[in-house]
């Protein structure tokens, strides 16, 4: 059975170095909190045209004079997802001495993975080294094996230490873990956490249809909170949304809601379940069994000969017209309205091309800040550097078709977008 979750779709020439989860940076190194300092000059507006830009609670400098607030840090003096523990900024998602929260240490033999202490690193999460799960193919501190550190001037590529590109010292703005993660373009800075909240609200969301003419592959959507421990299959919250219709001929399970707002409605063609609620703006056709954990909202009629079990209340225009193969805890007659679940208005679409165009201007990238030439990989020769470790720069532009390894010096997100082209 396929497992579907939110994914980040990268357009050509856009290399996403890290997964963006919040308006801040993530790192494994223990660093002291930042002192008050100015960030880069006030950025140009962005292509989103979002006057709100940052979250309302986010502070930012609006000029060259020091406003008295460090925009690079949170209230503790640490940046992004880092937490101040014992005077140091740490990432509690991976720190075995402060796993999940400050002072919670994992037992001997355990590792800290996704804010929880577990017996071993889950498959695909890396190798256990000093209480954390690391990728020994790319980790400079554990290259090819735990404790094998690459010397200065080298970096880990494929489990061996190779020559690395020389860059300048980390800019002052890297103090405390680095600046908030934002994208900028022609209006105001826009927090990538806000983008994620729009783009990845559902495990599966489409502006059109799911499975029209039909979905023939088994599908499973679940969710989990990485701040409360490692992933466990089947967690509530994995939802599916379609601004069009939904039609499946294979098993379709969502541990959250299923929301369908289009005129085509939903046609259940195989075993289907919604762990929380079901929202269908128009007709619901039961050609396969349906289970809903909570309430169901159907704006049209229910037809078909398969059974439906609704754990909560069914809301539908006419309860008297509900067929006997539908079991529910209660029924309420009345009009049902289901708004579009997926953000598909022009202002909601992430303008990848506009962002790249903005950062194609050298004045908008961090290349000069770390002394890095965009042509560093253009003409590779034997013995040329194949590893690039980035400090906490915002953006990097490379002009190359050469396939090279670009790796973050820390485990967390630092350089958000590298434009390779």
Tens of pLDDT, residue by residue over 64-107, are 222 333 344 455 567 666 788 988 888 898 999 999 999 999 99
Helix (H) or strand (E) holding 291: strand 290-292
The two three-digit tokens of residue 246, written as one number: 């939904």
pLDDT surpasses 60 at 400: no
The mean pLDDT of 119-124, rounded to a whole number, is: 90
Q: What is the mean pLDDT of residues 3-30?
A: 31
Whether 16 shows a pLDDT value over 90: the answer reads no
User: How many degrees, rounded to 5, is the angle at CA 370 between CA 367 and CA 372?
Assistant: 50
Q: Does the structure show a pLDDT above 70 at 131?
A: yes
The pLDDT, as a whole number, for residue 348 is 77
Per-residue confidence band for 10, with pLDDT thresholds at 50, 70 and 90:
very low
Predicted confidence at residue 322, as pLDDT, reads: 98
Measured CA to CA, the distance from residue 249 to residue 204 in angstroms comes to: 17
Residue 179 has pLDDT above 50, yes or no: yes
Residue 2 vs residue 129, higher pLDDT: 129
Q: How far apart are CA 10 and CA 246, in angstroms?
A: 26
Measured CA to CA, the distance from residue 91 to residue 393 in angstroms comes to: 19
Question: How far, in Å, CA of 314 to CA of 330, rounded?
Answer: 6
- Average pLDDT over the chain reads 74
150 pLDDT tier (thresholds 50, 70, 90): very high
Task: Pick the more confident residue, 197 or 138.
Answer: 138
Helices (H) and strands (E) in the chain, counts: 3, 32
All residues at 6 or more sequence positions from 380 whose CB lies less than 8 Å from its CB, including other chains? 386, 402, 404
Q: Which of 175-179, 195-199, 388-392 has the highest mean pLDDT?
A: 388-392
Cα 204 to Cα 247, 260, 270: the distances in Å are 14, 12, 18
| The pLDDT of residue 193 | 67
H/E segment holding residue 221: strand 219-221
Instruction: Answer yes or no: is pLDDT of 209 > 90.
Output: yes
Q: What is the per-residue pLDDT for 277?
A: 98
pLDDT value at position 351? 74
The whole-number pLDDT of residue 69 equals: 36
Q: In the chain, what percentage of residues exceed pLDDT 70?
A: 67
Which residues lie closer than 8 Å to 267 by C-beta, 6 or more apart? Answer: 245, 246, 247, 248, 285, 287
**pLDDT at residue 372 in the model:** 80
Q: Do 106 and 91 touch, CB atoms closer than 8 A?
A: no
Percent of the chain with pLDDT strictly greater than 90: 42
pLDDT reported for residue 180: 62
Q: How far is it, in rounded angstroms, from Cα 211 to Cα 248?
A: 6
Better-predicted residue by pLDDT, 55 or 234: 234
Give residue 204's region: left, alpha or beta (phi > 0; psi -120 to 50).
beta
How many angstroms separate the CA atoms of 60 and 104, rounded?
Answer: 32
Q: What is the mean pLDDT of residues 9-35?
A: 32
CA distance 298 to 390: 51
pLDDT band at 247 (very low <50, low <70, confident <90, very high): very high
Tell whether pTM > 0.85.
no
What does the DSSP 8-state code read for residue 357? H
Is residue 120's pLDDT more than 50?
yes
198: which 2 tokens?
A: 């729009």
Q: CB–CB of 93/85 below 8 Å?
A: no
Query: Is residue 38's pLDDT more than 80?
Result: no
Region 26-45: mean pLDDT is: 34
* Contacts of 361 by beta carbon, 8 Å cutoff, 6+ apart: none
For 42, other C-beta atoms within 10 Å of its C-beta total: 12
Which of the four pLDDT bands, split at 50, 70 and 90, describes residue 253?
A: very high
């Amino acid at each position: 059975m396929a497992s579907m979750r939110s994914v980040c779709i990268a357009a050509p020439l856009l290399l996403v170095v890290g997964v963006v989860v919040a308006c801040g940076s993530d790192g494994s190194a223990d660093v002291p909190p930042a002192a008050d300092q100015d960030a880069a000059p006030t950025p140009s507006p962005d292509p989103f045209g979002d006057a709100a830009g940052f979250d309302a609670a986010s502070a930012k400098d609006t000029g060259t004079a020091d406003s008295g607030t460090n925009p690079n840090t949170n209230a503790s003096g640490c940046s992004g997802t880092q937490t101040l523990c014992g005077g140091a900024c740490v990432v509690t998602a991976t720190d075995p001495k402060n796993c999940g929260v400050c002072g919670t240490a994992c037992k001997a033999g355990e590792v800290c993975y996704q804010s929880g202490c577990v017996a071993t690193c889950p498959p695909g999460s890396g190798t256990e080294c000093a209480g954390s799960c690391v990728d020994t193919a790319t980790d400079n501190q554990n290259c090819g094996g735990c404790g094998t550190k690459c010397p200065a001037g080298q970096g880990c590529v494929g489990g061996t230490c190779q020559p690395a590109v020389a860059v300048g010292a980390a800019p002052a703005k890297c103090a405390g873990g680095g600046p908030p993660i934002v994208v900028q373009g022609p209006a105001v800075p826009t927090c990538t956490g806000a983008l994620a909240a729009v783009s990845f609200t559902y495990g599966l969301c489409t502006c059109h249809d799911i499975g029209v003419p039909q979905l023939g592959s088994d599908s499973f959507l679940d969710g989990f909170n990485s701040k409360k421990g490692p992933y466990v299959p089947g967690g509530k919250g994995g939802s599916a949304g379609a601004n069009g219709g939904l039609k499946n001929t294979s098993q379709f399970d969502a541990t959250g809601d299923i929301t369908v707002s289009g005129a085509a409605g939903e046609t259940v063609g195989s075993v289907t379940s919604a762990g929380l609620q079901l929202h269908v703006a128009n007709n619901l056709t039961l050609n396969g069994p349906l289970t809903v954990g909570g309430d169901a909202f159907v704006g049209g009629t229910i037809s078909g000969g398969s059974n439906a079990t609704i754990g909560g209340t069914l809301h539908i225009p006419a309860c008297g017209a509900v067929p006997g193969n539908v079991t529910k805890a209660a029924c309420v007659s009345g009009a049902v309205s289901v708004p579009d679940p997926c953000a598909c208005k022009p202002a909601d679409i992430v303008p990848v091309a506009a962002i790249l165009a903005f950062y194609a201007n050298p004045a908008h990238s961090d290349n000069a800040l770390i002394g890095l030439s965009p042509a560093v990989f253009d003409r590779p020769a034997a013995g040329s550097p194949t590893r690039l470790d980035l400090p906490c720069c915002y953006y990097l532009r490379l002009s190359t078709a050469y396939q090279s390894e670009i790796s973050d010096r820390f485990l967390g997100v630092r350089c958000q977008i590298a434009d390779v082209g």
